[in-house]
């Protein structure tokens, strides 16, 4: 079964190609799909440790997202919407996020995404948080 059968991603003509920034413009979810909402995942490891480096936190946040999705029988390929919160956003942090997202999605089309620069997150030292919505075919 195709893991993305519950939705379709697209980049309509007339809008710039967002793939260089690791997102898509439009996600259409098929009626009857099972939706899974994942709370914001930060870059802390199982022991609660946060690296001081943004790229390491971004990588770990995606690992944490994969674990949360797997708990419901889903994967990154079934995510159609991300919300990304970045402390002290910069073009360099965006490049680091894109590199981690491209690695995580392994060349597949990446979900729709809204990046929101923020002054701080829940934990001291937390630099990135990502929440997701996934669509799975109805059981």
pLDDT grade for 92, boundaries at 50, 70 and 90: very high
Express each pLDDT in 44-68 by its tens digit: 999 999 999 999 999 999 999 999 9
Q: Are 65 and 76 in contact (CB under 8 A)?
A: yes
Q: Residue 87: is its pLDDT beyond 60?
A: yes
- Could you give the maximum distance between any two Cα atoms of the chain, in Å? 46
DSSP per-residue string spanning 47-116: T--B-SSHHHHHHHHHHHHHHHHHTTT--GGGEEEEEEEEET--HHHHHHHHHHHHHHHTTSPPPEEEEE
Arch. (CATH architecture) of 7-136: 2-Layer Sandwich (3.30)
**DSSP assignment, residue 134?**
E
pLDDT recorded at residue 83: 98
Domain-by-domain residue ranges, the chain? Answer: 7-136
* Partner residues linked to 5 by β-bridges: none
pLDDT grade for 119, boundaries at 50, 70 and 90: very high
């Amino acid at each position: 079964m195709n893991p993305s059968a519950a939705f379709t991603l697209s980049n309509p003509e007339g809008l710039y190609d967002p793939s260089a920034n690791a997102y898509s413009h439009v996600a259409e979810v098929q009626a009857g799909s099972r939706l899974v909402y994942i709370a914001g995942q930060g870059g802390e490891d199982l022991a609660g440790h946060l690296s001081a480096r943004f790229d390491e936190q971004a990588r770990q946040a995606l690992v944490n997202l994969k674990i949360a999705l797997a708990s419901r029988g889903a994967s990154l390929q079934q995510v159609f919407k991300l919300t990304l919160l970045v402390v002290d956003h910069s073009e360099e942090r965006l490049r680091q996020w894109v590199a981690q997202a491209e690695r995580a999605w392994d060349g597949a089309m990446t979900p729709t995404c809204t990046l929101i620069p923020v002054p701080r997150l829940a934990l001291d030292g937390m630099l990135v948080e990502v929440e997701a919505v996934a669509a799975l075919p109805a059981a």
